[in-house]
Amino acid sequence: MFFNAPDNKKKETILPFFLPYAGCKQRCIFCAQEKQTGIKTLKPFNLKDETQRLDIFLSAYQKKTQTLKNKNVELAFYGGTFTALPNEAQLALLKTTQKYHNNVENGFLSNIRCSTRPDSIEKDWLITLKSFGLSMIELGIQSFSDEVLNAVRRGYSAKQAISACEIVKNSGLNLGIQLLPNLPRQTPTMFLNDLDWVKRLKPKSLRLYPCQVIKGAELETVWQKKEFKIWNLPLITILFSQAQLMAWENKITIIRMGLSPEPELEKATIAGLNHPALGQIIRSQALLAFISQKIIYYKALHKSKINKIFIPKRYQGELFGHANKLEAIYQTLGITRCKIKFWQNNFFMLN
C-alpha cells in the first residue's frame, strides 16, 4: 500500500530583516523586540538609516549566495507593523530590494513578505505594494477569540481579523497567519477554535508562538499576579500536533513553532515553553498519528501484520521523536527498527 508524504518536500529559505516596533502604534503586553530580535539598541525609525542598513544587509547576503548558489530566498520584514509605516517608507524599502531580485544578474530574492496587524490593512494599498514586489502578508492575529484579544488589549476584534485575512487574499497576495497560543484568558478549546478558523481561511503559511513571559514586557505583571497559567509541554504537544495534522491535511505550511533562539531572549524568559526541540517533538507526534492511521487501515484491509514500511529519508530524524521517546509506541503497532527502510522517494509504502 502506497501513501503520499503529508507535507511538501520543498522548504522556503526565509531571510528575516527586523524593523523592531517600526510602525507600531502601541506596545503589545507580550512584546519585547529587543530580546526577541537580539537587537540591543532600539532607535526610532529613520527611513534613510533603515534603507541603508537594508542595502548593506542584502549586499552581504548576496556575496554569500554566490557561493551557495541559492536563488530562491524570501526576504521578510519582521518586528514591526510594516503596513502602518508611512507609505513612502514602505515603497522605499521595497525599492531597495529590487536590484537583488533573482530576475536580475546575481540576484537571489524570489519573494518578499512582511508582518503586520489586522487593523492596518487596506486592499487598494496592498495591490500597490504587490506591484512593488511584495508577495505575502503575515498577519499577527494572535487569536480569533474576542475574549482573548480584549484581555491583551490588541485593539481589534475577531471579526476584523477574519476580514483582514480575506482582504489580503482578495488583493492577490499570499496570506500567512501568526497565532500566539496560551495568552491570558485562552483555553485549549479556544486554541482549537483558532485552528478551525485557520482551516477555513486557508492561508499559505502558519506560525505558532507559544506564549512566553519576557522580563520587561507588561505580561510579566499579569503573570506575577497569577492571572493566567503557562501550558506545559505535554499539553502543547497534544494541541500543536493537532495543528500540524490540520496543516498537512489542508496544504498549509507551518513555518515555525516557537520563537527563534536568541541568547538575550533565553536570559529574559521568566516563564513559558522555550524547548529547543519543540518543532521536532510536535512533528514527530503528528507523524506518529499520521502513520498510525495508515497502519490501522492496512491491517483492517489485509488482515495481516506489517512486514516492511518504506519511509521518505527526510523523516529519519523525526520518526522516533526527541530522544527516541516514540519508539516504544511504534513497537506496539508492530513497527520495529528492522522493519523500517528509509528511501529517497517522497511517498510511503507498507507491505
Which residues fall within 8 angstroms of residue 10, CB to CB, at 6 or more apart? Answer: none
Angle between helices 233-249 and 188-201 (to 10 degrees): 20
The angle formed by the CA atoms of residues 251, 80 and 60, to the nearest 5 degrees, is 85
Length of the chain: 351
Of 111, 138, 134, which is closest to residue 203 (Cα–Cα)? 138
Task: Using DSSP, state whether 152 is helix, strand or coil.
Answer: coil
From CA 193, how far away is CA 151, in angstroms rounded?
Answer: 17
The angle formed by the CA atoms of residues 106, 64 and 13, to the nearest 5 degrees, is 85
Identify the bridge partners of residue 136 per DSSP, sorted by sequence position.
Answer: 113, 174
Domains of the chain and CATH, by start: 7-276 (3.20.20.70), 286-350 (no CATH)
The angle formed by the CA atoms of residues 141, 39 and 59, to the nearest 5 degrees, is 95
Largest CA distance in the chain: 70
Alpha helices in 69-187 (DSSP H): 87-97, 123-131, 146-151, 158-170
Total Cβ atoms within 10 A of residue 311? 22
Identify the bridge partners of residue 78 per DSSP, sorted by sequence position.
Answer: 18
Task: Using DSSP, state whether 24 is helix, strand or coil.
Answer: coil
Give the Å distances, CA to CA, from 67 to 15, 55, 62, 73, 80. Answer: 16, 19, 9, 14, 31
Which residues fall within 8 angstroms of residue 229, CB to CB, at 6 or more apart? Answer: none
Cell numbers 497559567: residue? 229
From CA 298, how far away is CA 285, in angstroms rounded?
Answer: 20
| pLDDT tens, residue order, the chain (351 aa) | 999 999 876 777 899 999 988 988 877 788 776 666 656 556 788 999 999 999 999 999 998 877 666 678 999 999 899 999 999 999 999 999 999 998 888 889 999 999 999 999 999 999 999 999 999 999 999 999 999 999 998 999 999 999 999 999 999 999 999 999 999 999 999 999 999 999 999 999 999 999 999 888 889 988 999 888 999 999 999 999 999 999 999 999 999 998 777 777 788 888 888 788 888 999 999 999 999 999 999 999 888 889 999 999 999 999 999 999 999 999 999 999 999 999 999 999 999
From CA 173, how far away is CA 171, in angstroms rounded?
Answer: 6
Strand boundaries in the chain, DSSP class E: 2-4, 13-18, 73-78, 109-116, 136-142, 174-179, 205-208, 212-214, 253-257, 269-272, 309-312, 340-343, 347-350
Please spell the DSSP secondary structure of 159-180, one letter per residue.
HHHHHHHHHHHHTT-EEEEEE-
Angle between helices 188-201 and 158-170 (to 10 degrees): 20
pTM passes above 0.85? yes
Give the Å distances, CA to CA, from 118 to 12, 162, 239, 259. Answer: 24, 8, 24, 21
